[in-house]
Amino acid sequence: MKIRKIDWTRLAVWSALIVLIIAGWFWFQRAKRDVMERAYPWLRIQREREEQLAEFDAATKATYEASLRVTATNSQPHLIHRAGELPDGQKADIAKLFKEKFQPALMKWAAAYSNRIPFDVSAVTMDKFHSTLGSHMFTFMIGDTTLTFMLDRNGENPRVGYMMVRQAAVAMNHLPAPGTKPNLDAPVTSSQVLDMVAADTGITFKPNEVIIRPTGKASAMNGGAFVDILPTGADPNNFMNYKLSMTFDSNGKLVNYERDPHF
C-alpha cells in the first residue's frame, strides 16, 4: 500500500509538470504571435480573415448537416441541386425568375459598380445556370466566375448575393511570395465605395462604417483592396459580421462580392 501511494504521488507530480509545460508552450506561442503581429500587422489581418472564414465554414457545415438530417427524417429535397438534376418544370420557373427578377437585379447591380464588373453582363444567360442552394439562392457560372442571386423568404427582393473570380480566390488564399514588396495603394477610395454601395443597396452608410485594407499585406494579390461595410447593428444570423464585403484587384475590378443574406 505504501509503494502504491508513492507511485500515485509521483504520477500526480509528473501530470502537473506536463500540464504546466503544455500551458507554458501555448503561452509562449501566443506571446510570439503577438510580437510578430505587432511587427507585421498584415499577419493579424490574415489571421482574423482566416478565423472569420473558419467560423462561416463551420456555420455553413452545421446548417448543411442539419438540412441532411431533416432530409433523412422528412424526405425533403437536398439542399443543393445542380441544373441537370432539376425537372423541366422547375427549370422553366427559374427561367421566368431570371427574366423577370434576376436580370433587372443584375443590371441595377452592374450599374452601381459600373466599369468595375469583371465580366460582360450580357454573358449571364440561362445556359450559364449552375445550381440552386435551398429555394432562395441561384448560382450561375460565367467562365471561372461564380455569380449567385438571392431572394428573401417570401420569394421577393431579388439581388446579387455573391460573386467570386476564381483566379482572385486563389490569390487571396495565398500569402505574398517571400521578398515581395507590398503595394499599399488602394484602387478605390472610401468616397467611391460609399457611392457604389448606396447605388447598390439604396442605403447611405457613414464613412466610419467603411474599412479598406490593402490586399498586398495579407495575400498574394498585390495592389488590391479588401473592403468591408460594417453592420449597423448586431445580427446573430450574420456569421461574417458585415453587411457587404468586397475585394478589388489592382486594376480596380470587383473580383469578390459577398452580401449578408439578411441585408
pTM of the entire predicted model:
0.69
> Exposure pattern of 214-229 as b/e (b: 16+ CB <10 Å)?
bbbbbbebbbbbbbbb
| 254 contacts: CB under 8 Å, gap ≥ 6 | 113, 116, 117, 118, 163, 246, 247, 248
Q: pLDDT grade, residue 3 (50/70/90)?
A: very low
What local confidence, expressed as pLDDT, does residue 28 receive? 54
Average pLDDT, the chain: 80
- Residues sharing a CB contact under 8 Å with residue 158, sequence separation 6 or more, in sequence order: 97, 101, 102, 104, 105, 149, 150, 151
129 pLDDT above the threshold of 80: yes
Domain ranges in the chain?
82-259
pLDDT of 117 > 70? The answer is: yes
pLDDT at 99 over 90: yes
- Residues 6 or more apart from 101 whose CB is under 8 A from it? 149, 151, 158
What's the rounded mean pLDDT across residues 243-259?
95
Closest CA to 171 of 159, 162, 183: 183
pLDDT at 199 over 80: yes
Give the contacts of 204 (CB within 8 A, at least 6 positions apart): 194, 198
Residues 41-91 have pLDDT tens digits of 555 655 565 565 555 445 444 544 444 444 443 434 457 788 988 999 999
The three cell numbers of residue 11 are 504520477
The model's pLDDT over 8-51, given as tens digits with 9 standing for 90+, comes to 666 666 666 676 667 665 665 666 566 655 655 555 655 565 56
